[in-house]
Amino acid sequence: MINRIRDIRKQKGMTLAELAEACDPPTTAQTIGRLETGMRNLSIKWMDRIADALGVDAEVLVRSESAGHPQVVAQLYAAGPEALDTPRDAILATDLGSEGMLVVLTIEESVGEFRPGDQLWLRQIDPADAGRAINRDVLVPRTGGRFAFGRLIDRQGSLVGVLPPGSGQKQQVVDAPAWIAVAEMLVRKL
């Protein structure tokens, strides 16, 4: 993921070691360097830690200050594409309406219908609303910092059943998850 950590760190006059020490909990300069260069995935948790240490909003770490807002310039119909009379702003993943925080699951290896390089954007919902997510792809937190991912196939009381996307895998049951994130958008490079 392309990010602006190095640019912001240098603007603030901080070294890798100083930024690493400012993180809560502290980390190593090597880890910060890997996050800056994209050699290590920049998760939401890392974005929050680094943003706090730099004193900026987390979204600033991945947003380009100079880039304009993407524009919708055409629409595709059966007869072909047609230009819009007036271009309009495109909806970015962070602009999608609805309540609940967005989280992203990056796909590193082919699993089911997902390919390496895909990003799956999911919106967190309250587990009490799990009924509206039945038969949808979900990410569910488990104990020990682990997750269950797959199709939500069952909900009974505080238990939710998730069927992983790989063939031959068994249903995973999670008791009383803190939240459930429902797939909202798949981003795939062409």
pLDDT in tens, 51-89: 999 998 887 887 555 555 566 777 777 777 777 787 776
120's tokens:
């799956």
- Dihedral sign from CA coordinates of 114, 70, 99, 23: positive
Which has more confidence, 53 or 7?
A: 53
> In the prediction, which pLDDT does 169 show?
85
Q: Is the pLDDT score of 90 beyond 70?
A: no
The CATH number assigned to the domain with range 95-187 reads 2.10.109.10
Residue 67: CB atoms within 10 Å: 7
User: Phi and psi of 73, rounded to 5°?
Assistant: -115, -15
Helices 29-37 + 44-54 axis angle, to 10: 110
The predicted structure's pLDDT at residue 182: 92
Quote the pTM value: 0.57
Check residue 64 and give its pLDDT.
58
- Model confidence band, residue 145 (pLDDT cutoffs 50, 70, 90): confident
Whether the bond between 165 and the residue before it is cis, its omega within 30 degrees of 0, is no
Q: Is the pLDDT of residue 173 over 60?
A: yes
State the pLDDT confidence band at 180, using cuts at 50, 70 and 90: very high
Furthest-apart CA atoms within the chain: distance in Å? 58
Instruction: Please give the CATH number for the structural domain made up of 5-61.
Output: 1.10.260.40
Query: How confident is the model at residue 102, as a pLDDT?
Result: 80
Name every residue whose Cβ is closer than 8 Å to that of residue 157 and which is 6 or more positions away in sequence.
none
One fold for both 5-61 and 95-187? no
Average pLDDT, the chain: 84
Mean pLDDT lowest among 31-45, 55-69, 74-88, 128-142: 55-69
Domain boundaries, the chain: 5-61, 95-187
List Cα–Cα distances, 167 to 90, 112, 151, 170, in angstroms: 36, 7, 12, 9
